[in-house]
Structure 1
Amino acid sequence: MTDTERPDAGARDTAPGDHANHSHTRTDACAPAASARTVAEQLAIVLASVAPLSPVRVELDAARGLVLAEDVLTVTDTPPFDNSAMDGYAVIRSDLLSASPQNPITLPVIADLAAGTAENPRLLPGQVARIMTGAPIPDGADAVVPIEDTDQGIERVAIVRAPGAAAHVRRAGEDAHAGDRVLRAGSVLWPTRVAAAASAGTSSVLVHPAPRVAVISTGSELVTPGSPTRRGQIPDSNSFLLSAAVAEAGGIAVRIGAVPDDDDVLRALLAELAGSVDVIVLSGGVSVGAYDVVKAVLKPLGTVDFGPVKMQPGKPQGFGRWPATEQAAGPLIFALPGNPVSAYVSFEVFVRPALQRLLGRPILHRRTVTATVVDGWRSPPGRAQYMPVIVTNRTDGTENGTRTEARPASRGGSGSHLVAGLAQASGLAIVPEDATHIRGGDVITVMLTS
């Protein structure tokens, strides 16, 4: 089912020649009913209901993108032994102080040390050992001569440059000592941090797990993409859109697909899912139509609140939990509008921050930038508008070098059904509730989505 937003509410303003910065036309007329919440009020309700998921221990190769629930300490010194930073020859530096291209010094090679070797030949004055990067420095050696400064000899080697003190030697504990903290609790395990944990000798970490998120589209008109359609039927794009958004946000998407407008079918499906997921995201059936199945099933439970939010698109919203059991609290439920742009905007504004908090991530919200509007558009009075826009950086001829520009991603503006234009968008321009016209040259805040 679809929401009841006006498809022309975001039509572009094509009036030419208006370029005044910060000149949004504002009005207090046509304000929504007092019962409607602001975006900030709705988001506060959502986030007050969300806490990081209880920590679990996972193997390091399954931890990418998760958030540490405890500090990571080094098990041993890192590196655990003196080793070579170069392919070359381990040497006693005092043997080579006079070496130069005009005066090469030739010495016998008594060993060949590869990375991973346990050999430890002791060098005596006048001796060298060929050594590879990462191999342990042999006793007696105090520097490494890179292979480029030699004739690459195997039994005897001519060295043409004296090494500096401790040249190319990585000392034991140079990176960290046993017991040092290498990662703090609350750190997101991006690839470099996974590497740091591995270098510290850690094979598993305590993390907040990724939430499992069931994604359901509702509507008897929806069919699987690629299936034949008859009059009145359309492909289900929302379950694919929202599942991809869940995965991009760090969650584990469980895409259920489309279900018909049947109260009993939806009620049974939700009850079945409640014990296996952390979040349920539904799209469609949340407005005031005769077949709004989501509202019909969830509102009588008394644990999901439905009401308008002063935003466009995305005005009809539902949020709460499936009823708790003796074993656990029920999963969070987000009931989003059915039109694709409405569903996507609602996900970005409300669902994505909640998923970030469930993950334990320190930053909940997308990055924002200020951008100069290229082509203007209208915005409905009394509602914050989220306009899909294409964001570009252009040379502005000033010492700053570039300026960020934004233009609507679709000729239809922010109409809630315009999913093809949404594919071109790289951000959502955020228009304040009291602005009705955004004009070329205005400077506006944009939430970056890609």
Structure 2
Amino acid sequence: MRRESPYPMVPIDEAQRIITAHVTPLGVEEMDVLRNAADGRVLAEDIYATDPLPDVPKAAVDGYALRSADGVAPRRVIAEVTAGAAPGLRVEPGTAVRVMTGAPVPEGADAVVMVEHTEERDGALTVRRALSAGDNIHTVGQDIAAGQCVLTRGTTLGAAEIGLLATVGRVRVQVYRRPIVAVLATGDEVYEPDGEVFPGGVRDSNRYALMAAVREAGCEAVSLGIARDDLSVQRAAILDAVDRADVLLTSGGVSMGTRDLIKPLLAELGTVHFGRIAFKPGKPTTFATIDRPGRAAPLLVFGLPGFPVSSLVSFEVFVRPALRRLQGDARPERPRVRVTLRDPIYPSADRPEYQRAIVGWAEGRLVARSTGRQGSSRLLSMLGANAMLVVPPGTQPFPAGAELEALLTGPLAPFDE
């Protein structure tokens, strides 16, 4: 007798909508972003500058501060000012002050002439070209105005952002908490990679690949090990995640076999919001929530397929954006671009497919080449891939030269022109 799944097949965009509806940014914490590893953290507040930058007019070049109205007439050099020196000098008609880049411009001066355009001998300065007021001077607030918003809530902190926080004197800032993501492998046939593997067994690549993907997405990864195909064992592992994590990722056990126990357990412990997606590879991908007494947010559970490619592709399309949203990321999605195919691409007849590809700049446009056979068990198809081609279903191949949409998952690859 043919067994049917009790879960209707939902479209990709509907699955993404359902997930997003259940994702709320986690709590906020304050941290010292200059003395702790804040890279990748997401701001939970807007940052404003309290002072202008520069706070006083400053020399943009090494040279001489002077009055532009004096033209090219000789001047007397009365002093030298270096960067960091306190202001206090005044430039009168017929005088100039030697200044270094970044030094305060003395009162009375309204321009700075580059040292290359001058000659100084025995304290007398000759200027070879006339200047206009404001030449080679960084004015007050030119870079940042007092009260200006320099970083907005939802910004991911990188080198430039941390440098900007230091510039405006904000050492301690509010950031969103990093999600704790538990990862569980399931199956009697699954073994630790460095252990003995019996005939028919497989090494557990999914858990370690997913944990790496979780860390790359900015989260803390927790391994729950391997749970054998036993209801009590897998139930205990899921309940462990309820206590310890914000998100649970499982791999395997979500198809239609007699030992696929994850979906029944999730239905018992929580609510399954969908159990199948019209999507390849990864049709049995499942999303559920489990309420936790005394906790504001439920545990988010993603039941991912057992095949390694299906697991990672499903993570990219459905899990990663949710993890970024939990961190308050204002732009949680990977960028999408149009690419020109270098190789023919063969679609699935019945479902949209995310095929692995390498995208680079060639011949004045973005070009994609396939990573080869796209089987869901062939992890080599992920190796070197920096994109996933979004291939609509159909019966005819997309020829070389055709265009498709691609989800960029990494930096553009170097291509030979």
Query: TM-score when scaled to structure 1?
Result: 0.78
Provide, for residues 210-248 of structure 1, a one-character-per-residue CA deviation record: whole Å limited to 9, x for no partner. 333233333344444455545344333223322332333
Please give the alpha-carbon distance, in whole angstroms, between the structure 2 residues aligned to 1:154 and 1:234. Answer: 84
Provide, for residues 261-320 of structure 1, a one-character-per-residue CA deviation record: whole Å limited to 9, x for no partner. 155454444434434432222212222234335345433213345622221210112212
Q: Is the contact between residue 286 and residue 306 of structure 1 (CA under 8 Å) also seen in structure 2?
A: no
Partner of 1:98: 72
Partner of 1:346: 314
Q: Is 1:428 aligned to 2:388, yes or no? A: yes
Partner of 2:28: 55
Please give the alpha-carbon distance, in whole angstroms, between the structure 2 residues aligned to 1:178 and 1:304. Answer: 51
Please give the alpha-carbon distance, in whole angstroms, between the structure 1 residues aligned to 2:235 and 2:353. Answer: 33
Alignment match of 1:108 (pick from 66, 77, 81): 77
Offset of residue 443 of structure 1: 3.4
Distance 1:122 1:403, change over 3 A: closer
Q: Is 1:163 aligned to 2:127, yes or no? A: no
Q: Counterpart of 2:384 in 1: which secondary structure?
A: coil
Q: Is the contact between residue 219 and residue 323 of structure 2 (CA under 8 Å) also seen in structure 1?
A: no
Query: Share of identical aligned residues, percent?
Result: 36
Provide, for residues 327-361 of structure 1, a one-character-per-residue CA deviation record: whole Å limited to 9, x for no partner. 33332111101111101111111112212322333
Offset of residue 82 of structure 1: 1.6
Distance 1:302 1:358, change over 3 A: closer
Partner of 1:439: 398
Q: Is the contact between residue 275 and residue 330 of structure 1 (CA under 8 Å) also seen in structure 2?
A: no
Please give the alpha-carbon distance, in whole angstroms, between the structure 2 residues aligned to 1:118 and 1:267. Answer: 69
Offset of residue 365 of structure 1: 2.7
Please give the alpha-carbon distance, in whole angstroms, between the structure 2 residues aligned to 1:152 and 1:296. Answer: 87
Number of equivalent positions: 402
- Structure 1's unaligned 5+ residue stretches are 1-31, 100-104, 396-401
Q: Is the contact between residue 263 and residue 275 of structure 2 (CA under 8 Å) also seen in structure 1?
A: no
Partner of 1:38: 11
- Structure 2's unaligned 5+ residue stretches are 411-417
Q: Is the contact between residue 213 and residue 280 of structure 1 (CA under 8 Å) also seen in structure 2?
A: yes
Distance 1:85 1:314, change over 3 A: same
Partner of 1:84: 59
Q: Is 1:237 aligned to 2:196, yes or no? A: no
Partner of 2:50: 75
Distance 1:46 1:302, change over 3 A: same
Q: Is the contact between residue 344 and residue 397 of structure 2 (CA under 8 Å) also seen in structure 1?
A: yes
Partner of 2:330: 362
Provide, for residues 51-91 of structure 1, a one-character-per-residue CA deviation record: whole Å limited to 9, x for no partner. 22233333343554444443322211222112111122222
Please give the alpha-carbon distance, in whole angstroms, between the structure 2 residues aligned to 1:125 and 1:407. Answer: 68
Please give the alpha-carbon distance, in whole angstroms, between the structure 2 residues aligned to 1:208 and 1:167. Answer: 44
Moved more, 254-263 or 43-52: 254-263
Distance 1:153 1:324, change over 3 A: farther
Partner of 1:174: 142
Query: TM-score when scaled to structure 2?
Result: 0.84
Partner of 1:24: none
Q: Is the contact between residue 216 and residue 283 of structure 1 (CA under 8 Å) also seen in structure 2?
A: yes
Moved more, 46-55 or 268-277: 268-277
Alignment match of 1:278 (pick from 226, 239, 246): 246
Please give the alpha-carbon distance, in whole angstroms, between the structure 2 residues aligned to 1:224 and 1:336. Answer: 19
RMSD: 3.1
Please give the alpha-carbon distance, in whole angstroms, between the structure 2 residues aligned to 1:33 and 1:420. Answer: 33
Partner of 1:199: 167
Offset of residue 46 of structure 1: 0.8
Provide, for residues 389-438 of structure 1, a one-character-per-residue CA deviation record: whole Å limited to 9, x for no partner. 2334443xxxxxx454434312x22x1101012113232222334x1332
Partner of 2:293: 325
The one-letter code of the counterpart of 1:44 is R
Q: Is the contact between residue 210 and residue 359 of structure 1 (CA under 8 Å) also seen in structure 2?
A: yes
Distance 1:83 1:428, change over 3 A: same
Please give the alpha-carbon distance, in whole angstroms, between the structure 2 residues aligned to 1:440 and 1:178. Answer: 56
Q: Is 1:389 aligned to 2:357, yes or no? A: yes
Distance 1:152 1:257, change over 3 A: farther
Please give the alpha-carbon distance, in whole angstroms, between the structure 1 residues aligned to 2:143 and 2:343. Answer: 53
Please give the alpha-carbon distance, in whole angstroms, between the structure 2 residues aligned to 1:116 and 1:274. Answer: 56
Moved more, 259-268 or 165-174: 259-268
Distance 1:177 1:153, change over 3 A: farther
Please give the alpha-carbon distance, in whole angstroms, between the structure 2 residues aligned to 1:213 and 1:155. Answer: 69
Offset of residue 190 of structure 1: 4.6
Q: Is the contact between residue 270 and residue 289 of structure 2 (CA under 8 Å) also seen in structure 1?
A: no
Partner of 2:379: 419
Q: Is the contact between residue 244 and residue 253 of structure 1 (CA under 8 Å) also seen in structure 2?
A: no
Q: Comparing both chains, which one has the higher relative contact order based on Cα–Cα distances under 8 Å and sequence gaps of 6 or more?
A: 1
Distance 1:210 1:147, change over 3 A: farther
Provide, for residues 142-171 of structure 1, a one-character-per-residue CA deviation record: whole Å limited to 9, x for no partner. 222222223477966554334331222212
Q: Counterpart of 1:311 in 2: which secondary structure?
A: coil
The one-letter code of the counterpart of 1:419 is L
Q: Is the contact between residue 75 and residue 95 of structure 2 (CA under 8 Å) also seen in structure 1?
A: no
Moved more, 235-244 or 145-154: 145-154
Please give the alpha-carbon distance, in whole angstroms, between the structure 2 residues aligned to 1:116 and 1:258. Answer: 57
Q: Counterpart of 2:395 in 1: which secondary structure?
A: strand
Moved more, 325-334 or 188-197: 188-197
